[in-house]
A and B are shown apart, each in its own frame.
Chain A
Amino acid sequence: MTEITLDPDAWKDIDPATEALLDKWLVAQGDTVRAGQPVASAVLVKSSLEIVAPAAGRIAQILVPAGQTFARGKPIAVLQGAT
């Protein structure tokens, strides 16, 4: 099981209270993804950012639905069976 998160570099120097918005999912729960594949789009400080799969596998669970915000470091999905 691997967690998918927004790249920690994106949060650099940003106020700790600021949250990102999960704008759009590009894959669905159960989909198989490649390492580096964009899986979702998020908005943070007026920046639209890709969130990519850290490894190949299957999206086992989506933890943050589109339209919800999430804090620094919070996983947005769980990736299972990395190959």
Chain B
Amino acid sequence: MWNYPSPAIVLGCSQRLLREAAQKRLEGRAELLARESGGGAVLTGPWLLGVSVVLPNGHPWLGEGLLESYRHLGQLHAAALAELGIAAQSVPPPTVADANDRLGRTADWACFGSLSPWELVDAQGRKLVGLAQRRRHTGVLLAAGTLIAPPNWQMLCSAMGQAHDAPLLRRRTVSCEALAGRPVAAQPLASALQQALAQALNLAG
């Protein structure tokens, strides 16, 4: 589980060419990093709870292709969020295109600017949890990020030279706080996810 006390922009592995320009635009207001998994840029900060799951090759979650790994992680998040009274559902692969179209134009440069299979949305189709993974011959890293509170989308969009996309990200996303109608702390969700992971991965003592 990852908490982020201060903002940072984390680029996807295929966005490394954008790093220099983004660094200049940021003018030191936030750290800029690049991750080894795919997808668009993520704005970490106090509004985000991150989850990393490292699995050995051959694990049952990995044996049925990329999408099955996402399904396991997405559905686990849905169950943990439901424990906190937050309703969200994973987007099955055949419905991803329609789910993306439902809210108008996408912004593929940002993780939260579009939907991929088994990511989590609310009843209006707004994205709440993003997923990614990195597969290597030594093992697999599954990663997820949940919006606890509304992020500073303007900071991300300005740094990426896409200032006009801030309204789009606000329209296409939703936070736990917005869905619950009250402040939501990261810790209860982190605990629920830890318990669910321990159970699902047979780690419970």
Is the CB–CB distance between A46 and B116 below 8 Å? Answer: yes
B182 within 8 A of partner (CB): no
B134 within 8 A of partner (CB): yes
Q: A21 contacts which chain B residues (CB < 8 A)?
A: 14, 38
- CB of A70, distance to nearest CB on chain B (Å): 13
Is the CB–CB distance between B65 and A12 below 8 Å? Answer: yes
B200 within 8 A of partner (CB): no
Q: Which of A46, A47, A48, A49 has the most CB of B within 10 A?
A: A46
Is the CB–CB distance between A47 and B93 below 8 Å? Answer: no
- The interface stretch among A37-45, A55-63, A74-82 is A37-45
Is the CB–CB distance between A48 and B93 below 8 Å? Answer: no
Q: Identify which of residues 1-25 in chain A touch chain B, using a CB-to-CB cut-off of 8 Å.
A: 9-15, 21, 23-24
In the bound complex, how far is the Cα of B36 from the Cα of A10, in angstroms?
17
- CB of A44, distance to nearest CB on chain B (Å): 7
The prevalent SS among residues of B at the interface is mixed
Q: A48 contacts which chain B residues (CB < 8 A)?
A: 13, 36-38, 132-135
Q: B133 contacts which chain A residues (CB < 8 A)?
A: 46-48
> Nearest residue in B to A37 (C-beta to C-beta)?
B137
B180 within 8 A of partner (CB): no
A52 within 8 A of partner (CB): yes
> Nearest residue in B to A9 (C-beta to C-beta)?
B65
Q: B64 contacts which chain A residues (CB < 8 A)?
A: 12
Q: A23 contacts which chain B residues (CB < 8 A)?
A: 13-14, 38
Q: Identify which of residues 112-152 in chain B touch chain A, using a CB-to-CB cut-off of 8 Å.
A: 116-117, 131-137
Q: Identify which of residues 39-60 in chain B touch chain A, using a CB-to-CB cut-off of 8 Å.
A: 39
In the bound complex, how far is the Cα of B117 from the Cα of A30, in angstroms?
38
A65 within 8 A of partner (CB): no
Interface size class of B (residues with CB under 8 A): 20 to 34
Is the CB–CB distance between A47 and B66 below 8 Å? Answer: yes
Is the CB–CB distance between A43 and B13 below 8 Å? Answer: yes
A36 within 8 A of partner (CB): yes
Q: B39 contacts which chain A residues (CB < 8 A)?
A: 46
Is the CB–CB distance between A46 and B135 below 8 Å? Answer: no
In the bound complex, how far is the Cα of B116 from the Cα of A11, in angstroms?
15
B67 within 8 A of partner (CB): yes
> Nearest residue in B to A10 (C-beta to C-beta)?
B66
- CB of A48, distance to nearest CB on chain B (Å): 4
> Nearest residue in A to B96 (C-beta to C-beta)?
A15
Is the CB–CB distance between A38 and B137 below 8 Å? Answer: yes
- CB of B143, distance to nearest CB on chain A (Å): 9
- CB of A12, distance to nearest CB on chain B (Å): 3
Q: Which of B66, B68, B131 has the most CB of A within 10 A?
A: B66
Which residues of A come within 8 Å of B, CB atoms? 9-15, 21, 23-24, 36, 38, 41, 43-50, 52
